[in-house]
Structures are given as structure tokens and as C-alpha cells.
Chains A and B, each alone.
Chain A
Amino acid sequence: MTDGWSVARALTDPASVAGLNADQWTRLLAAARALSLIGTLAEILADQPLPDHVSRVLADVRLSNQTGLRQALWEAECARMALADYPGRVVLLKGTAFAAAALDAARGRSIGDLDILVARDALDQVEALLLQARWEWVKPDPYDDAYYRQWMHELPPLIHAERDRMIDVHHTILPLTARPRPDAAALLANARALPSGLYTLSPADMICHAAAHLIADGDLSGGMRNLWDIDRLVRQFVEEDAGFAQKLEERAKLHHLHDAVARALRLAYRLFGTPAIWPIRPGTADALFLRRITAVDGWGRKTRKLTRQGFYIRSHLLRMPPAMLARHLWTKWRKGHRSQL
């Protein structure tokens, strides 16, 4: 069992850590940190009998979890106050959304940037309000800035001058250059209100977003954490709503994300034993995805360089048609050279 798989095993079967020796613990903790799953692991193992020192390390992690949660929710509140004059819906995405809605997926989850979704025609107003509230541009490069505005699903990242926290303002959930075109208006229309006045995506749309992010966009570098989100969300949503599988099917089709969701559910089933709410058919390349997702060793190093590079190239191909990709890489390559001179 590789170190990536041992993290998955400890998360799904907490009692299985009982027999680990010091070396196995050391490797498990390092791999979990590298996968950004140490916070989750600490919560999952909170009630297990643990060796003294492991329990001290994980107690520290749980303290950090509390701080992280508090900071993430405070950041959302700051954005809410900054956007108080914006009449449209402000939808929290990813980790902050899980935390604000107190979903199981939030337990121990590391939360970095604040991700929000607003209507595309409101971007100018939202951007202006955030700048007024002391968020600033991170990317000073005009090419990057123009690229974001023309082709991405979000504004160029902003960072707050005092709190040093980033916000990503999305207007949809996939880059405009990607083949699937999720229905952004439907995402907003179906969003669920939180007591604070902010929103989260509907349960089915949350899964669609997580799958889009994992399968149809990035290079899977945060893949295991993403699949763990999906695992927790699916388990909770099927419990709360017997018709959830059907609803997810409808929404996935609406957003052109049926294949991505199907793949994400299969991978989660293989890795974490997530309930198979859709029929599991053996998917081509699933093994390759899992190879990539578990590519970490007991020192927290990324392994399987070739597989990772393959997925990195794939992430670019998914985002851009070949001619555009060539132009993009050419521009980046020239800039790289110029900046070295």
C-alpha cells in the first residue's frame, strides 16, 4: 500500500490505525499533510486510542482547525459587509460554503482562499465594492489580468491589504474556454440562503462544482481532498434526501457535467467506499486518475512525475483549444525568458 492509499484507508477506517508502528505513523502524518488532509485526519481520529506523541501532534492540528474555521468564517463575513450594497446573491463556494452551512465536509477541512460566485453582469460592481473595502490586485501582469478577464471563470485574484487573505470572485464554475458550459444562472437561481444573508449552492450543484473542479479543470493536485469533499457531501445528502441521486442526475446533465460527476463518484467509491448512488461502470483511465491522486510518499514528496506531468498537460488541454494553448504557452515562455534577463 502506498502512502497516499494509507491516508485514504485511515480516513475511511479510523480503527485501522490501531496497529501502526512509529514509522508508519510518521509516514501517514507526512503524507496527510502533503495532501492537505491532516486537519481532516485529526478530526476523524479524535476518538481513537493513539500513541502519546501522535495524539499530541493531532491535538495541535485540531487547535489549528479551530483557528482556520474562525478565520474562514470571518473572511466570509467581511466579504458580506463589503458587498452589503450589492443587491444580487453572493454564493459561497467550496470550503467556506461547507463551513458556513455546517456540513460534515467542513470537519477539519483546510480552507485557504475565499471563493464566491456572483452574476457575471455584476462583476464590475462587485469588483469596485471589494476594491473600496481594501482588497487589492495580486497579479500585476497585464497579460495575466487580460487573460483572466477574457477567458477565466473568475476575476484575477484579489488579496486583502490588512488581513492578507485572497478572494476569488467567480461568475461560473469552469473556465469559458472549457468544453462543458455549466448553467451559471441556474446555479445562482437554485442557491440556498444562509441565515447571514449569504448563499451556498444547492446540494446537487455543490457536487457538480466539486466534480467540475476535480475532473474538468485542474491537474488533480488537490485531488484526494476534493474526493473527500465529494464523499462527505454525498453521504450527507443521500441521508437527508432520498431522491438525491435523481436530482444530481438532472443537475449534472443541465450543467454538461454528467461525465465529470460520474467519474468523480466512481473515484470516490474506489478510494473511500462512497455510496454508489449511480450505477458504477468500470471507467477507462480511472486507474490512472487514482495513480495521480495517491502520488505522495511518506516524506510528503510528490511521486510519479510522469503521471503528474501527464495530468498537468491534460489540465491545459481541457482549458484551451490547441491553437489558443500554443499562443498562451508562447506568450508565457517569452515572458519567462525576458524576466530572467
Chain B
Amino acid sequence: MRHACFITVGPARFRIGSDWRAPIDQLRALYSDYPMDEVVPDFTVRLQSTSALRRYVRPQVAIAGDFMLPDAVPLPLEQGLLAAEMAMNLQMALGWRRHLLLHASAVSRHGRAVVMTGVSGAGKSTLSALLAERGWRFLGDEFVLLDPDTGNIAPFPRPISLKNAAIAAVEQEVDDDTRFGPVMRDTPKGTIRHLRPRAEWVEQMARETRPALLLFPRFGYPRAVRRMDEAESFVRLTQASTNYVALGDRGFDALTGFVRSVPACAIDYADGEEGAELVERLWSEQGVRAAAA
């Protein structure tokens, strides 16, 4: 295609082609810390015009690639970066087979990870971003990659996708303005702004971590914590996985192994501050229990 770049995130390699220059330039800026070697990719992504005319007049970006959804809605060119991110997510969700994919965010400390899963709007991105600014290592805010053989998590630290009110909340925490991408308004998900992970998290992205705690956060509710048993965690995570069925018995073994090896809690919280504090508290309780055992 006319414009193209290669990006490696964790174990996954992408080739992104575009009919326009702008989305590729934005990707290069947002992913400046990531390896960009021209290697044989796992996935090809295409940002292409919906017609020859629409390349120039009110340009619309159609999302295409190795894996596609038949009814994907095109985005205006100003949201080309979002289109690229969505397309990369789609390739992972539909095509990745090396790990069990959970729709979740994760951060780690001393090589042990907290996995936070929930529906869109539950606050998993925001929580991971806040914790990552407070000394945690950021592992990813969209997908958690669980290795079926070892039970470890392979970091997949993409730029963090902040939405609506979360943008201001995280902007307060981050001093370095250059870590933010462009503000995209009126997208299908509202206003979106990406936050570039710190360079050291990207440098460490080949290093796997051990999962230690599983949380089901829910934003906008009065503070509450509830222990969750293995069976409920399991069923909820089958819903949160995009490739559980496709992996067959490997997926089943990976997921049962996961819910047996980590304690799980549902947590409700009113705002990001409270959420982050709750995660810290559960983490230290967990640490005490682990030390006692």
C-alpha cells in the first residue's frame, strides 16, 4: 500500500498499510519506543478508502486486514489512528492462537500480576493507567495473554486507550505531555486519547509474569468487595475471552488452571482514586496471605 509501517507489541507482529499518510505518521509517533523492523508479521492490517473518490473527499477509513468483520463501520480520516487500533485489536481477537486471550488489563509488581477484567466502561483501562503511574509495571489495557503451557502472562503493552472522563483523570497524573496522542472527539466510543506506555515497560515486554490476583472491577458504584469462587470466575472469563472456543481443550485447560491458581474478587468503586486504592489494599492483603502460606 502507499504508506506502511511494522509494529511489534509483545509477542505479536503487525504490518499496517494505509491509503493515507496521516494514520501511519500518528502510529509511528505513538509507537516510537516499539520495535519497527520489517519482519514477517502475524497480521496484516489495511486502512483503506471506501471508494476512489472517498480517498480525497470527506475521506472514510475502512478497516480491513487478515481478519475482518463484514459490517465494520468506516471512520472519518481524523480518527484514522483509532481505526488502526481497532483493526489491530480485531486481528488479535479473531486470529491469535498462541495464548488464551482475556479482554482485560493487567499491571504487575515484583513479577506478580493483577488481572482486571470487565465490560467496556468498567474502568479496566483507567485503573491500569493510574496504577502504572504509581509504581506498577503496565502489562496491557486491552488483552491479557495467558500462556496455555506455563500459565504465565505475556505482556501486551499497547498504548492505553483513555475514554471521556478518564482522560482528564489520567492527565492529572502524568507529567510528560509528549506521552499523549491526539484527542479524537465524536468517535463511536466518545472522546478518545491514547497514552504512550513508559519506554521501560516496552523494553521489558518480552518478560512474562505470574498472575497473582484476578479482579472484576465495576466503576460508578458504592465501594464494595466480594470474593468470587472459581466456578463464577471461570464462567465470566469464558465470556471475556475472544478465543476460548477456538483454542478447544487448550483453552479449557488454560482457563481452569488460571482460576484455580489465583484468588478472585469483584470490586465496586465510585471513582478512579478509590479504585486504585482498593486494588492496592487487596494486593497487600494477598501478599500477607501468600507470605503466611
Q: Identify which of B42-50, B123-131, B198-206 touches chain A.
A: B42-50
Q: Identify which of B33-41, B171-179, B257-265, B275-283 touches chain A.
A: B33-41
Chain B residues lying within 8 Å of A60, measured Cβ to Cβ, are 42, 95-98
Chain B residue with Cβ nearest A31: B44
Q: Identify which of A10-18, A20-28, A87-95, A243-251 touches chain B.
A: A20-28
- Does B66 have its Cβ within 8 Å of any Cβ on chain A? yes
Q: For chain A, residues 47 to 97, give those with C-beta under 8 angstroms from any C-beta of chain B.
A: 51, 53-54, 56-57, 60, 63-64, 66-67, 70
- Does B137 have its Cβ within 8 Å of any Cβ on chain A? no
Chain B residues lying within 8 Å of A278, measured Cβ to Cβ, are none
Chain A residues lying within 8 Å of B196, measured Cβ to Cβ, are none
**Which of A54, A64, A299, A300: most chain B Cβ within 10 A?**
A299
Known interface pairs A66-B248, A70-B248; A22-B48 also in contact (CB < 8 Å) = no
Known interface pairs A63-B97, A64-B246, A70-B248; A300-B65 also in contact (CB < 8 Å) = yes
Known interface pairs A64-B97, A67-B248; A300-B44 also in contact (CB < 8 Å) = yes
CB distance from B255 to the nearest CB of A (A): 16
Contact of B66 among A25, A66, A300 (CB under 8 A): A300
| Contact call A299/B1, Cβ cutoff below 8 A | yes
Known interface pairs A56-B98, A66-B248; A299-B40 also in contact (CB < 8 Å) = no
| Contact call B66/A53, Cβ cutoff below 8 A | no
| Contact call A51/B40, Cβ cutoff below 8 A | yes
Chain A residue with Cβ nearest B48: A301
In the bound assembly, the distance between CA atoms of A29 and B97 in angstroms comes to 16
- Does B193 have its Cβ within 8 Å of any Cβ on chain A? no
Known interface pairs A60-B97, A300-B46, A300-B66; A29-B40 also in contact (CB < 8 Å) = yes
- Does B13 have its Cβ within 8 Å of any Cβ on chain A? yes
Count how many pairs of residues, one from A and one from B, have CB atoms less than 8 Å apart in the complex: 52
CB distance from B55 to the nearest CB of A (A): 14
- Does A99 have its Cβ within 8 Å of any Cβ on chain B? no
In the bound assembly, the distance between CA atoms of A56 and B96 in angstroms comes to 11
- Does B15 have its Cβ within 8 Å of any Cβ on chain A? yes
Chain A residues lying within 8 Å of B48, measured Cβ to Cβ, are 301
Q: For chain A, residues 18 to 48, give those with C-beta under 8 angstroms from any C-beta of chain B.
A: 22-23, 25-26, 29-30, 33
Chain B residue with Cβ nearest A20: B40
In the bound assembly, the distance between CA atoms of A299 and B17 in angstroms comes to 8
In the bound assembly, the distance between CA atoms of A29 and B65 in angstroms comes to 12
Chain A residue with Cβ nearest B46: A299
CB distance from A295 to the nearest CB of B (A): 16
Chain B residue with Cβ nearest A54: B40
| Contact call B248/A26, Cβ cutoff below 8 A | no
In the bound assembly, the distance between CA atoms of A63 and B13 in angstroms comes to 19
CB distance from B36 to the nearest CB of A (A): 14
In the bound assembly, the distance between CA atoms of A51 and B13 in angstroms comes to 15
CB distance from A282 to the nearest CB of B (A): 36
Chain A residues lying within 8 Å of B64, measured Cβ to Cβ, are 300-301
| Contact call B40/A57, Cβ cutoff below 8 A | yes
A-B CB proximity, top 4 nearest: A60-B97, A30-B44, A25-B40, A53-B40
Enumerate 17 A-B pairs (CB-CB under 8 Å) in ascending A order: A22-B39, A25-B40, A26-B15, A26-B41, A29-B40, A53-B40, A57-B42, A60-B95, A60-B98, A63-B97, A64-B246, A67-B245, A299-B17, A299-B44, A301-B1, A301-B46, A301-B64
